[in-house]
Structure 1
Amino acid sequence: MVAKLLSQGHYDPKAINDEFSEKVFNKFLEDLDPKKNIFLKSDVDSLAKLYSKSIDDELNGAPVASFIGVSKVFDQRIAESVQWKNALLEKPFDFTIDETAELNGKKLLYPANQQERKDRWRKMLKYYALERYVDLQEAKGSLKSDKNNTQLEKEAREKIDTMMTRMFDRYKVKFTEEDKFNLFVDNITTAMDPHTEFFPPADKRYFDEELSGSFFGIGAGLQYSEGVVKIISINAGSPAAKSGQLAPGDIITKVAQGADGEPLDMLGYDVQDAVKIIRGKEGTTVRLTIKKPDGTIKEVSLVRAKIDNDIDTYARSAIIKDSVKNTKLGIIYLPEFYTPFQDPNGRRSFTDVAREVQKLKDEKVDGIIMDLRRNGGGSLYDVVQMVGLFIKEGPIVQVKDRVSGPQVLKDEDNSVLYTGPLAVMVDEFSASASEIFAAAIQDYGRGVIIGSTSTYGKGTVQQNIGLDHTGFKRDGDGDLGAVKLTLRKFYRISGGSTQLKGVESDIVLPTQFESLKLREKDNEYALQYDEIPKSNFTPWSSKYDINTLKQLSNARLKKDSSFQTILKNRSWLANENERSYPLNIAQYKADKKAIKAKADQIIAAQKLKKQLNVSLLPLELAKYEKDENKQERLKLWIKSLSDDIYLKQAGEVMDDMIVEAKNFAMAK
């Protein structure tokens, strides 16, 4: 059924042949053994000879043999690893020896023999123990413990033993043959493209309940990936979002309860188990130890809460005043392009943004900034209508399926709600509908796009198709699970796809994530960029010169110490995450200190030395005068804007646009 769905329904299906079979085979082995310390090279060679070119035959109806063969060898090697773990953790580690551990499986070949494989386990366990040993030493210093280093080293090994036992128990008890088969089928679907995923029935329910906006506790979507629990999404308005310290790609390494609870290591936990530990009663505290994609470690303390959509996940606005330049700017924050799918009378992003625009017009702002940073997308209808608030009628986006020609979605309303200077803020995590909005504004020349070099680059549309004994179900429910299938692709009205390339910013502001591989283009299975004929549209009559704005911005950035610090340090941090790990304690401590110093520099650089003058619109706080909690959250949002170096730069660009517009009017 999956093979039939992929072949007949996917927007751009790869041929299910020997080449595709080999990709799935290699992908399945990598997911089972991300650190390349389970399978031997001889295992891989013999399995490849038997099965690497047969998965396509199995998809076309041949008996399923590849999964069974791979699974059998995997179980055998795991059993051996349990014995090695026990033996290796019985004896103390010597942390004075100069050696390193390579934990990135993508940089390794499969071990040539058992001795090499066992040595990889030794180095991995030693590194994990070293991490805990140093943590215990630091805790000893702060608590003035009387434990000696021998005791601490033993305690560190015991912690690793507990963690690894839990991981192996998961392999034995929870990672059943059915679980491995679900992973195998998901490897088949994601080999088509990263967003075509398979959900077995239980996972589909979990996906619906936990990762689509109803993940209560801290408000983060989690995924088990390459042996770790990773954050894949942040719910707008949640404790995770309001902390400003968590982001997709962060790895949760430890979880502690309350202000002084003992941190519990997450190594070996799957997502469902991790969720149970992170969840708790509303108002209680949970502390997460996070490993950032750049390798830095930090502890984030969060107060669990039930997400209240009223102010946190809906559009809201504020005013930025500059007494020196005598300007007043409006900023509209939009966390997602939401729409009330289940409630015809519910709020939708298009009408909410229109309301905020009108409020800012009533305040006679000189310009408006649309903040779409970290906006992962949403309703296609709403983004089309929203662009229409800023332009006269015309095409907004082209949508194409595998059979028909492009469908042009248009704004049919000739009226324009706002005609003044407009800027759109984006970053690496602005995706899908956010990219459609930014692309349309850019193509029309209606406003300036400000942010990272480019947005995420997701230019595809998916729909859940249920798999059932009776056939395929468009409602997404099925006895056999569901496939989230890529059905369509977005194209700009200028002809280029938003897929892979995303939207390139007119004004580029350096970010610490630029050197990290976080975008769609960094996934080897992503669909490619292409172009179709452009739509017929009339550009906006701009009152500014984009090249002048770029020159003025670049001149400011060269003098801005914050952005120069980010530029100087971001490549260093990215490179640090790619290197091997020291097993010598002196080198480990020196590296840890250096990474923390660089990270602290970047964190400090991202806060303004002189705060912006940001305030809520009149009556906004009064609306919640009986709800101190909501008032406090609004104040925290205003505080975050006041410290935002990126918003300051966007405001500077907007000031340049205002000056250019005035000069244009005078010249006219």
Structure 2
Amino acid sequence: MISRKLLPVAAVVIIAGLLVSGSCKGNNENDSLYKQQQLLVGVGIFMQRYHYAPKAYDDKFSEAVFNAYLGKRLDPEKAILLQKDIDTLNKYKLTLDDELRGEIPLSFYPNAVNSFKQRIKEAQNITNKLLAKPFTFTANEVLENNRDSANFPANEAERDELWRKRIKYQVLTKYYDLYSQREKAKADDPIKKKTDAQLEKEAREKVKSIMDRYFKRYNTGAFEQTKQFSNYLNAIADQQDPHTAYMAPFDKADFDAQMSNKIIGIGAQLREENGEIKIVSVVVGGPAWKTKKVHANDIITKVSTGNAPLTDLAGYELEDAIKLIRGVKGTKVNIVLKKTTGVVDTVSMLREEINIDEAAARSVIINNQDKKIGYLYLPEFYADFQDPKGSRIARDVKTEIEKMKAEGIDGMIVDLRFNPGGSLYDVNQIIGYFINSGPVVQVKNRQGRTQDLKNGRDSKLLYDGPLAVMINEMSASASEIFAAAIQDYKRGIVVGSTSTYGKGTVQRAIPLGDEDPKTGQPEFGSLKLTIEKFYRINGTSNQKNGVASDVVLPDIFESLKIREKDQPNALNWDKIAPATFSPWKIDYNFPAVKAAAIQRINNNKAFELIKKTSEWMAANQDRPSDLNFEKYKAYQLESKKIMNTDDTLSKLKVPMNVAVLQVDRPKFYENKDKSKQDFYQKWLEDLKKDIYIDETSRIVYDMIRNARPLQ
């Protein structure tokens, strides 16, 4: 077994050793390809030696990489390459494992890229011809959006037809935008006088500009070797599991831009995927998070500042898109989002710095009849590992619990919805505030050795009353460890979506090579590697299955395929021997509490409508796009109506009776920083109307009434 601390050293030795061994190759035109092969072999060795459950490098693995690179990485829309190109490349299908082991020269990747470059020129010619003539939108035809299972075009004619529909759809969306503007415009607005034909021509001109930018990327260096080879290495890493990834080095300018823009002025982490700008995560407390309308997996299609015209981001590189989204603090930015259902929504917000105070743990009191129920909000398990006196969620939670206890709470809610996880050390500490002593999670390495992690040495029982934990499908990692421990000890009840996200693995970012003195980065990039797996104290894994709720509340995202189990090559669920632990000393009569909650939920018309909205979203997630204008318009209007209705459903008509803790009143009502005061008051007002918190408070109320010591 190799120590986790020695992993970076091993990476340097493996990668540097391989590259040094090839130094005699010289500076010829094949030198770059040779170095890529050495890096490929080095990464392959490292994944094979240290990944938690490495796949065997055999013909099956080779075929999987072949299909993943061509159909998911190089040409994800399967609209550039032809089946004849795939047939030509088929001779490499079962040899990629041999290339990965360094037994034969690297051939598949460069030949695949060359085929793509030739076909992209043909696609550009097709596009220019299509955009030279007007489109009509009266025919009843559709564009299939999900091409994961589609074949590559059988011939040029089939490819040309696919491009006709793709370009027609782009023109249709621009035409609909202009049409909508004309409908809403005042009588003196110039657009009011434009004919349908003029709008269609303007839409084609917009698409022409976008596509020119798209094709330019492949002719001016954007398709350069480092980026494309990184793409290939990630097609290989993808086969191990969704969280293993290769990260290529950048030059100094790109590195600085990437780091400074990683979390941008709207508070969202972005990545370029399949030629689109996709939201990976939303930063708690940031401008995007505050809108409650921006979510992971949304695609940003357009952006503008203030009242300026929207800029279409199609064809933009990530770095260029970020430059448009960022801006001066306090200025308004507008982003147009495309949801997974095809719904298009425009969201406006003010650019600002992310304030850690707004992402910190906080609490209030919910007055439910004659009982006081503490509400503890934990957006993430944050920790400043660089500064011993820096922010730590364990320390903050301890303070919040003591504040709530000082006001005599009878029960407590811990809200972990959308909590992505974080510090394992801190979550162990926090679990210790609710459980006397004992194991909270088990960790297993690739050698099969398991370790019981107990609640923090520095933590002690702070609260022993009724407890409910709120989760949803985006509660992941450390938040799942917390919910599982509370559930396994029978310490409290878990309320929310059918299950959490289902991430039960541990990753480590490993630098490859020595640090570059100019950039401060590893010379050959980094490898994020899955090295361990989490297990509950009952022996089952959170991986894939997540933590199932004791009481399920209908959720609009429930049916969407966004959990770990929906990711290709996710590691499987399994179980190990349970740890030794003792259940909680109080019996809350969970069967009676659950039965009462289920009855309320089934009789709640708002939850019934939310469930129908979720089913509608699931049914339309991969819906083909209409190329008929009237049908396209009808769907956009229908979807906006449904989503707007759902937005009001999750808000109570009669707000809950929620009180700010006495010691926090200055923060909420007398704050010298007006922006912070406004934030806290807005958060409080939204909380009062949250239908999910309201039902959870009723569950805790029933737990209070049913609490009995175990006999």
TM range (shorter): over 0.9
Q: 1:616 to 1:209 in 2, by over 3 A?
A: farther
Matched, 1:192 2:240: yes
Q: Which amino acid aligns with 1:368?
A: M
CA deviations 1:54-97 (Å, max 9, x no partner) are 21111111321111010011111111000000000000001111
Q: Secondary structure at the match of 1:408?
A: strand
Q: 1:215 to 1:8 in 2, by over 3 A?
A: same
The one of 503, 510, 520 aligned to 2:554: 510
Q: Secondary structure at the match of 2:663?
A: coil
Q: 1:277 to 1:644 in 2, by over 3 A?
A: same
Distance of 1:24 and 1:252 partners within structure 2: 29
Which residue is equivalent to 2:12? none
Matched, 1:436 2:481: yes
TM alignment of 1:142-221, pairs within 5 A: 142-144=184-186, 145-173=192-220, 174-202=222-250, 215-221=263-269
Which residue is equivalent to 1:233? 281
Q: 1:305 to 1:132 in 2, by over 3 A?
A: same
Q: Which amino acid aligns with 1:53?
A: L
The one of 488, 509, 514 aligned to 1:464: 509
Cα deviation, residue 202, structure 1: 2.1
Which residue is equivalent to 2:36? none
Name the stretch that deviates more: 101-110 or 1-10: 101-110
Q: 1:524 to 1:71 in 2, by over 3 A?
A: same
Matched, 1:283 2:330: yes
Q: Secondary structure at the match of 2:250?
A: helix
- How many residue pairs were aligned? 656
Which residue is equivalent to 1:94? 136
Q: 1:164 to 1:374 in 2, by over 3 A?
A: same
Q: 1:649 to 1:212 in 2, by over 3 A?
A: farther
Which residue is equivalent to 2:360? 314
State the superposition RMSD in angstroms. 2.0
Q: 1:223 to 1:125 in 2, by over 3 A?
A: same
Q: 1:592 to 1:505 in 2, by over 3 A?
A: same
Q: Which amino acid aligns with 2:361?
A: A
* Aligned partners of 1:213 and 1:235 also within 8 Å: no
The one of 158, 180, 185 aligned to 1:138: 180
Cα deviation, residue 470, structure 1: 9.8
Distance of 2:514 and 2:394 partners within structure 1: 40
Q: Which amino acid aligns with 1:74?
A: F
Q: Which amino acid aligns with 1:597?
A: K
Q: Secondary structure at the match of 2:408?
A: coil
* Aligned partners of 1:500 and 1:526 also within 8 Å: yes
* Aligned partners of 1:257 and 1:286 also within 8 Å: yes
Q: Which amino acid aligns with 1:351?
A: R
Distance of 2:697 and 2:253 partners within structure 1: 44
CA deviations 1:320-368 (Å, max 9, x no partner) are 113xx22211111111111111111112111110110110000111111
Which residue is equivalent to 1:629? 675
TM alignment of 1:566-605, pairs within 5 A: 566-605=610-649
Cα deviation, residue 566, structure 1: 1.2
Distance of 2:216 and 2:257 partners within structure 1: 26
Cα deviation, residue 599, structure 1: 1.6
Q: 1:334 to 1:96 in 2, by over 3 A?
A: same
Cα deviation, residue 216, structure 1: 3.5
Cα deviation, residue 597, structure 1: 2.0
Q: Which amino acid aligns with 2:281?
A: S
Which residue is equivalent to 2:61? 20
* Aligned partners of 1:431 and 1:455 also within 8 Å: yes
CA deviations 1:506-549 (Å, max 9, x no partner) are 11111111111000000121111111100000010233122222
What TM-score does the superposition give when structure 1 sets the normalisation length? 0.95
Cα deviation, residue 128, structure 1: 1.0
Distance of 1:432 and 1:477 partners within structure 2: 27
Name the stretch that deviates more: 177-186 or 491-500: 177-186
Which residue is equivalent to 2:46? 5
Which residue is equivalent to 1:39? 81
Distance of 1:206 and 1:103 partners within structure 2: 32
Cα deviation, residue 107, structure 1: 4.2
TM alignment of 1:345-356, pairs within 5 A: 345-356=389-400
Q: Secondary structure at the match of 1:171?
A: coil
Q: Secondary structure at the match of 1:232?
A: strand
The one of 414, 428, 447 aligned to 1:403: 447
* Aligned partners of 1:182 and 1:200 also within 8 Å: yes
Matched, 1:392 2:436: yes
Moved over 6 A (4+): 203-209, 211-214
Cα deviation, residue 231, structure 1: 0.5
Distance of 1:218 and 1:180 partners within structure 2: 29
* Aligned partners of 1:393 and 1:413 also within 8 Å: no
Matched, 1:564 2:608: yes
Q: 1:211 to 1:18 in 2, by over 3 A?
A: farther
Q: 1:203 to 1:27 in 2, by over 3 A?
A: farther
Q: Which amino acid aligns with 1:51?
A: Y
Distance of 2:96 and 2:324 partners within structure 1: 38
Cα deviation, residue 205, structure 1: 9.8
Cα deviation, residue 608, structure 1: 1.3
Q: Which amino acid aligns with 1:147?
A: K
What TM-score does the superposition give when structure 2 sets the normalisation length? 0.89
Q: 1:582 to 1:204 in 2, by over 3 A?
A: farther
* Aligned partners of 2:429 and 2:459 also within 8 Å: no
Q: Which amino acid aligns with 2:676?
A: K
Distance of 1:398 and 1:501 partners within structure 2: 16
Distance of 1:156 and 1:328 partners within structure 2: 58
Cα deviation, residue 573, structure 1: 2.1
Q: Which amino acid aligns with 1:134?
A: Y
Q: Which amino acid aligns with 2:348?
A: S
Cα deviation, residue 213, structure 1: 10
Which residue is equivalent to 1:380? 424
Cα deviation, residue 209, structure 1: 7.8
Name the stretch that deviates more: 445-454 or 476-485: 476-485
Segments of structure 1 that go 5 or more residues without pairing to the other structure are none
Q: 1:573 to 1:208 in 2, by over 3 A?
A: farther
Matched, 1:103 2:149: no
Cα deviation, residue 203, structure 1: 9.3
* Aligned partners of 1:209 and 1:215 also within 8 Å: no
Q: Secondary structure at the match of 2:664?
A: coil
Cα deviation, residue 551, structure 1: 1.2
The one of 111, 119, 123 aligned to 1:81: 123
Q: Secondary structure at the match of 1:202?
A: coil
CA deviations 1:401-459 (Å, max 9, x no partner) are 11251011112468411000111111111100000000101000001111100000111
Distance of 2:201 and 2:118 partners within structure 1: 29
CA deviations 1:218-248 (Å, max 9, x no partner) are 1100011122111011111111111111111
Which residue is equivalent to 1:451? 496
Matched, 1:486 2:527: no
Matched, 1:114 2:139: no
